[in-house]
Structures are given as structure tokens and as C-alpha cells.
Amino acid sequence: MRRHRVDHFAVAAVCRATPGVWQRVGEYNSTMSAEGAGDYICKAYTKQASQRSAYSPAGSFETRHTLTEFGALVEARYVGVGGDAAWADAVAALAEAVAS
């Protein structure tokens, strides 16, 4: 399976615009690749000190991955600088309630 390149800055922007809501990052060939992408996001990892991460500061995003027919789907959500997942869940539930 050929994997499409992920525009991490676009994904991070959508996540920040909708805190607490899971957004698709991409599908990876293996769970190890998916876990690596998750670490990259959660730790706001960069290869060089001069680069900046789309997901900075570290800890402001959460990730999860689920198995698919071709590998593993990675999703991310913005939880803020404090990393309070319960607060992010509450905000997402409130947003859904208001929308419906």
C-alpha cells in the first residue's frame, strides 16, 4: 500500500480549531509505524533543533490508533497545554450537544 504524505500542520490546525475532537492523521502500514507517528505527535518531536513541530508544545495532543485492513489508522486530538483529557472530552460533548 502506498501511503500519502500527511500535512501535519493542517492536521494540527484542525485539531486546535476543534479541541477534544478526534481527527484523522493518516493510515500507516504497521502498528509500529502508527505508534511512531503517535509518539512524534505527543512529544512534538523534531529532527533538528531549528525545526518546529506542528504539535508543540509537547503534551498538548493525544493520539490513538486502530487496526484497519491495510495497517493502522492514527487519530489525534488537541487537549491543550495541560493535557487534561477529561476537560477535552467535556468540551467535545458540549460542542456536539450544541450542534444537534
Q: Is 2 a member of any domain?
A: no
CA neighbor of 88 nearest in space, from 58, 63, 53: 63
Q: Got the DSSP string for 21-88?
A: --EEEEEESSHHHHHHHHHHHHTT--SSTT---TTPSTTSEEEEEEE-SSSEEEEEEE-TTTT-HHHH
pLDDT in tens, 34-73: 999 999 999 988 877 778 889 988 889 999 999 999 899 9
Output the pTM of the full model. Answer: 0.74
Task: Look at residue 3 and tell me if it is in a domain.
Answer: no
5: confidence class by pLDDT, cuts 50, 70, 90: confident
Domain membership flag for residue 42? yes
Number of domains the chain contains: 1
- pLDDT given for residue 83 in this prediction: 47
Find the helix or strand (DSSP H, E) in which 91 lies. Answer: helix 85-99
Domain enclosing residue 51, as ranges: 8-99
Percent of the chain exceeding pLDDT 90 equals: 57
